[in-house]
Each structure stands twice: as structure tokens, then as C-alpha cells.
Amino acid sequence: MFVLRMLSYLWALPTTMLGLVFVPLAMLTRGGVRVVSGVVEVYGGWVEIFLRRCTLLPNGASAMTLGHVVLGRDEMQLDLTRAHERVHVRQVERWGPLFIPAYLTASLVLWMRGKRAYADNPFELEAFRCS
């Protein structure tokens, strides 16, 4: 079991590395970092601005999962979105480095078909169904 757990972290590592880029950004801009159940949660400071302004969602995102790193606007948003974001963590553990390309491809195909790139994305549907 321990070996499988370590392999899931290794498989998700390329995506996790993207998330870890936000740790110093948060720390240098009055944000924070904590670890909850094996997941690094990064919040506040520049992370809050990134989530508010740099996503494709009209009002920004409350949180975002990048491997075993979850970005949140603040600690409360991390608490409120934890169940949903943990589904995305499990998805990254299954898809590994293919998660981001698969997620973005699904969104693009949906958008090209006139559907909602976020709300109809199967990764989001699973996360909303399970949280």
C-alpha cells in the first residue's frame, strides 16, 4: 500500500511541480502554506490574485488543484472546496502528467461543440458529483 501511495505521488509529480512554484510566490506576498492530509495547500498573497484574475472562469476560481498542491484564495476557501479539490487530486493521481492536457482538451472540445468548457467538463462533473 505504501509503495502504491508513493508511486501515485511520483506519477503526479510533474503536475505537483507546477503547483510548488506557487509556494515561494505566496510566502513572498503575505500568503501562507500548510499541509493537510498529504496535500500542500497554498493561499493568499499573489495566489489570491492569480485565482481571481488568471483563470478562464468569469469570476475567477476559489481554488485550483495542481497535483498534490491546492491553491486557494484564502484558508476559508480551501476549507470550503477541500472535498471537491481532493477529487481532482485523485484524478491527477490516475492521469499523472496527462491530467492537464486531458482536462484542457476536454474543455476545448466541449467549447467547440457549444457546451460549457468548465461546468460540462467530465473532470468537473466527477468532482461535483463526489463532493
Contacts with Zn ion in 85-124 (CB under 5 A)? 124
Q: Which is nearer to Zn ion, 28 or 79 (CB)?
A: 79
The answer to whether residues 130 and 124 touch, using CB atoms and an 8 Å cutoff, is: no
Tell me the closest approach of the beta carbon of residue 80 to Zn ion, in angstroms: 13
Rg (CA), the chain: 14
Q: In the bound complex, what is the minimum distance in angstroms from residue 85's beta carbon to Zn ion?
A: 7
Beta strands in 1-130, from DSSP E residues, in sequence order: 32-36, 39-43, 63-66, 69-72
Closest residue to bound Zn ion by CB: 127
DSSP letter (8 states) at residue 38? T
CB of 3 to Zn ion, least distance (A): 29
Among 127, 129, 130, 131, binds Zn ion (CB under 5 A): 127
Side chain identity at residue 73, one-letter code: R
Is residue 78 near Zn ion by the rule CB under 5 A? Answer: no
CA distance 113 to 111: 5
Query: Least distance (Å) from Zn ion to the CB of residue 128?
Result: 7
DSSP state of 44: S
Residues in contact with Zn ion by the rule CB under 5 A: 124, 127
